[in-house]
Amino acid sequence: MGWKAALGLFAIVSTGFAAGATAQEFRFEAVPLFDNCGDASLQKAKTDGITLGISPSPPYSSLDPSTNKAAGLDVDINEAALKWAGITKIRYEVMPFGQLIPAMLSHRIDVVAANIHVTPDRLKAVSFTGPAWWYGPAIVVQKGNSAGLHSFDDLKGKSIGAIAGSAADEYLRTMGVTVTAFQTDAEEFAGISTGRVPAIVEDDVKVLAYLDANKSAPIEIVPNVAVPEDLIFKYGYGYARYALRKEDCSLRVAYTQGLAEVRGNGEMSALLKKYGLSNRNMFFFPM
């Protein structure tokens, strides 16, 4: 079963993304009203443009080296929210996920535009937009699960793989897990496929997409794993958001409302479906 079927996904037939159809125009009932928010970050972005930091992580975000064009779900979501806020000059910097926050704090980029979650360590350094979309964590093992890992508690005391700087990385360390940190998705999936680590913790949608594209990969998701509440509400697998510098308040307010407007006018739903997801990925709490 492919990852779309596994998630209960369905194709778009009415939003303008069907083959041969003209793309639907999404309209807004609200306009930006942030003129007196008190700092210059929004006006600077509108005047000078903005630099978004992304990581090479399809289907979320990637950069075509031949065209220098960014693409992916997070790219489309960010561009839709920024367009609503009146920010039209957008540049991209691509780097490993773990380098994005340091790059933003050093002003190399303005926004961590790869989906990122609220965690205690991150809150010490950055601020976050409102919710963009949602997905959950998966424990991934080699086929057959010879290590007998069936829960997050089973990971304690073991060396488990995760992307450096990710929510999974931070949470696993709080559990007493020795984390083997990988810089890229390719390295991480190679690590579990070759048995370098007995398991990895990764985004369910990313793993399912990988398995759909690599049907002979010798790995599988552990089924029916209960997700600890702390992992959702404290250590990072709540809503996917985007991160900004704490001082950039007016930009963050505009970004947050832009995301809300994109969720509210149907465009977010269409973008999720464009990338093989569904309205289930709009909400942690099922509708």
Residue 64: its pLDDT value, please? Answer: 84
Q: Does some domain include residue 58?
A: yes
Q: Domain range for residue 19?
A: 3-134+239-282
Share of the chain above pLDDT 90, in %: 74
Q: Does some domain include residue 287?
A: no
Share of the chain above pLDDT 70, in %: 90
Q: Are 258 and 90 in contact (CB under 8 A)?
A: no
Residues 225 and 145 in one domain: yes
Residues 168 and 43 in one domain: no
Half-sphere exposure of 39 (CA within 13 A, CB side): 13
At residue 2, does pLDDT exceed 60?
no
Residues 20 and 43 in one domain: yes
pTM of this prediction exceeds 0.95: no
Residues 76 and 215 in one domain: no
Residues 59 and 168 in one domain: no
Reduced to 3 states (helix: H, G, I; strand: E, B; else coil), residue 23 is coil
Q: Does some domain include residue 247?
A: yes
At residue 3, does pLDDT exceed 70?
no
List, for residues 187-240, the tens digit of each pLDDT value. 999 999 999 999 999 999 999 999 999 999 999 999 999 999 888 888 878 899
Q: Does some domain include residue 112?
A: yes
Residues 264 and 253 in one domain: yes
> Residue 192: which CATH number?
3.40.190.10
List, for residues 251-281, the tens digit of each pLDDT value. 999 999 999 999 999 999 999 999 999 998 9
Residues 76 and 130 in one domain: yes
Q: Which residues of 253-282 are buried (b: 16+ CB within 10 A; e: fewer)?
A: bbbbbbbbbbbebebbbbbbbbbbbeeebb
What strands lie across the sheet with 127-128, from one edge to the other? 90-94, 50-54, 111-116, 241-244, 127-128
Interatomic CA distance for residues 276 and 287, integer angstroms:
19
User: Residue 115: pLDDT band by 50, 70, 90 thresholds?
Assistant: very high
Reduced to 3 states (helix: H, G, I; strand: E, B; else coil), residue 185 is helix
Number of domains into which the chain is organized: 2
Residues 185 and 229 in one domain: yes
